[in-house]
Amino acid sequence: MQGKTHLVVGITSALLIMQPNAFNDLVMGIGAAAVGSLISDIDVETSVSHKKADYIVRGSILMILILAALDFSGKMSVWNHISANELWIHKIVGLCILLVICAYGKEQPHRSLMHSLIVLAALGWCIKLLIPSAYMYFCIGLLSHLGLDVFNKKGIQLFYPYRKRFCLKLCSAGGKIDSWIGNTGMMAMAAVIGWRLFKIII
């Protein structure tokens, strides 16, 4: 399936299941579901996710090195501040694991590691450490991606590292069914967001 299809189905599914009742939750939910619905395609070299991942991973590594250098030089007590706060340690562990998975996953064959249940569990755990309220939205978005790709003619390694690929061979990325789901999903997403806004306002 194309990125647009994954995006609209992921957001719509998350909002229908979670039904946020506050504006902040709605915005956060849309963002978390969007990331979840697109992150699996980080293993496609031409995808936006893949290109953005390069910048995010490099930037994060550079930031960690700069902070480590400042801490080592004595100009900042970064580690002392972090180690005094258990919550920050959890968040940093979650972020580091997420970055490692994404850095490794983007170099793997398409629809292998990044399209598996093990990555759903691992990335979901990382998000739960980083932003607990975003956890379910992210997981629903990612799960919707896996569910849609099972319909493709090219299978996904759902139980990676087990090599067998699962697929229903009902459609192909960019085909008529993909376009129909994407267009229908766009209208459904707009309707669901409008309905949630209406419920929040009244």
What pLDDT score does 138 carry?
A: 94
Residues 4-30 pLDDT 10s: 888 899 999 999 999 998 888 888 889
Residues 188-199 pLDDT 10s: 999 999 998 888
Q: What pTM does this model have?
A: 0.80
Are 141 and 36 contacting, i.e. CB atoms less than 8 angstroms apart?
yes
Mean pLDDT of 134-149: 92
DSSP string across the chain: --HHHHHHHHHHHHHHHH---SHHHHHHHHHHHHHHHHGGGGGSTTSHHHHHHHHHHHHHHHHHHHHHHHHHHTS--HHHHHHT-HHHHHHHHHHHHHHHHHHHHTTSPTTSGGGSHHHHHHHHHHHHHH-GGGHHHHHHHHHHHHHHHHTBSS-B-TTTTS---B----B-TTSHHHHHHHHHHHHHHHHHHHHHHHHHH-
Q: 44-53, 84-93, 118-127, 145-154 — which is least confidently predicted?
A: 44-53
Above 90 in pLDDT, residue 90?
Answer: no
What pLDDT score does 177 carry?
A: 80
Q: Where do the domains of the chain lie?
A: 3-197
d(CA 77, CA 70): 8
Q: What percent of the chain has pLDDT over 70?
A: 77
Above 60 in pLDDT, residue 183?
Answer: yes
What pLDDT score does 124 carry?
A: 93
**Mean of per-residue pLDDT scores for the chain:** 81
